[in-house]
């Protein structure tokens, strides 16, 4: 079971560290064995009041988009407050893009034969939502323990734990991996798919997904 604690971030907490252009990660040619990947649901712990991250919380399950919709249905106006506190949206083609993580991926692959491409704008929106949260994602022992954190317009962001023990990763780190894939693997300024691997055995996947998305 994948359990995630996430809270709406304050403006100061959202300040990220500006890095230069993506580093010299190696390009992988081997295709990942996705047949061994296990899909687990994501449970979010979100504040009842979107502008009070230290207040009472409730658990909702699904992607970040589904979680927001559930919160807004139960607490009318929740989404409007959440949107008002989001950081500026990221861009793909900036000369220096904002990263919260200290390390670039160790390797990456753009040619994922088993998946189709996602829409770039939908993935950027997913990054923006992830930047609006603090806290960490906890994923059970792997390898290949994966959860879908964002999906809209058939464009998804996944993260996977390849350790044989539980792994905890910050939301900004997952957003960073996603933005790295956008920087390296985008096509025609519209489409993107790819997978970025980190040295401490976790990875981010950006791809097409039509499963309730």
Domain count of the fold of the chain: 1
Contact indicator for 40, 139 with CB cutoff of 8 Å: yes
Asked whether residue 36 is assigned to any structural domain, the reply reads yes
In this predicted model, what pLDDT tens digit does every residue of 26-46 receive, in sequence order?
776 566 666 667 888 887 888
In this predicted model, what pLDDT tens digit does every residue of 145-202 receive, in sequence order?
898 999 999 999 999 999 989 888 888 899 999 999 999 999 888 999 999 999 999 9
Instruction: Provide the H-helix boundaries in the chain.
Output: 64-74, 78-84, 120-131, 171-185
pLDDT the model gives residue 158: 94
Asked whether residue 157 is assigned to any structural domain, the reply reads yes
Asked whether residue 58 is assigned to any structural domain, the reply reads no
Asked whether residue 71 is assigned to any structural domain, the reply reads no
CA distance 177 to 168: 15
Q: Which domain holds residue 183?
A: 14-41+90-208
pLDDT level of residue 59 (50, 70, 90 thresholds): confident
Lowest mean pLDDT across 54-58, 71-75, 134-138 = 134-138
Asked whether residue 65 is assigned to any structural domain, the reply reads no
Asked whether residue 55 is assigned to any structural domain, the reply reads no
Asked whether residue 68 is assigned to any structural domain, the reply reads no
């Amino acid at each position: 079971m994948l359990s995630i604690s996430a809270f709406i971030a304050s403006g100061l907490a959202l300040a990220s560290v500006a890095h230069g252009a993506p580093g010299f990660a190696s390009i992988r040619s081997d295709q990942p064995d996705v047949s061994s990947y296990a899909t687990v649901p994501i449970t979010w712990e979100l504040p009842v009041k979107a502008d009070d991250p230290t207040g009472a919380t409730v658990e909702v399950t699904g992607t970040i988009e589904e979680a927001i919709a559930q919160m807004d249905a139960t607490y009318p106006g929740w989404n409007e407050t959440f949107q008002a506190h989001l950081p500026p949206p990221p861009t793909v083609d900036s000369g220096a893009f904002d990263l919260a993580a200290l390390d670039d991926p160790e390797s990456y692959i753009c040619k994922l034969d088993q998946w189709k491409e996602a829409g770039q704008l939908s993935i950027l929106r997913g990054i923006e939502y992830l930047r609006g949260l603090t806290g960490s994602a906890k994923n059970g022992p792997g390898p290949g323990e994966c959860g879908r954190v964002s999906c809209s317009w058939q464009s998804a962001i996944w993260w996977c734990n390849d350790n044989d023990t539980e792994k905890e990763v910050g939301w900004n780190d997952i957003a960073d991996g996603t933005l790295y894939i956008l920087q390296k693997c985008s096509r025609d300024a519209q489409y993107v798919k790819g997978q970025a691997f980190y040295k401490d055995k976790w990875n981010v996947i950006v791809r097409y997904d039509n499963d309730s998305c």
